[in-house]
């Protein structure tokens, strides 16, 4: 089966950098996803990592270490609009579905 852990909440200051960690345990590995979800809205796709290393996409970067079962999402130059829940997810071993972590609520303060 799959198990995903992420911190429940984080607070950071506007303009700063924040790193949101995710650890996972899976029977097989088919990549790892990060989604952003603003309160009351749909989750939106941020990134997908299947190989080790850092993938950079503007202010957001995502890192994966398959040997450690570890990923992080790095947000730079934080803006107030980045206040949201960040969900880490991995595909289940069989079938077309994702297993999500509980999400990390990020609060950006001025």
Piece of 17-25, 52-60, 66-74, 95-103 that binds another protein (CB under 8 A): 95-103
57 binds another protein (CB under 8 A): no
Residues 6+ apart with CB under 8 A from 76: 17, 59, 60, 61
5 binds another protein (CB under 8 A): no
42 binds another protein (CB under 8 A): yes
Residues that bind another protein (CB under 8 A): 4, 31, 33, 40-45, 48, 87, 89, 91-92, 95-103
């Amino acid at each position: 089966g799959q198990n995903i852990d992420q911190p429940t909440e984080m607070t950071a200051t506007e303009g700063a950098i924040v790193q949101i960690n995710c650890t996972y345990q899976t029977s097989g590995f088919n990549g790892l996803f990060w989604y952003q979800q603003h309160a009351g809205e749909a989750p939106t796709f941020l990134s997908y990592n299947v190989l080790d290393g850092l993938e950079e996409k503007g202010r957001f970067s995502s890192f994966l270490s398959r040997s450690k079962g570890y990923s992080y999402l790095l947000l730079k130059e934080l803006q107030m609009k980045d206040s949201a829940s960040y969900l880490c997810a991995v595909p289940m071993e069989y079938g077309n579905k994702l297993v999500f972590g509980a999400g990390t609520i990020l609060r950006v303060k001025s």
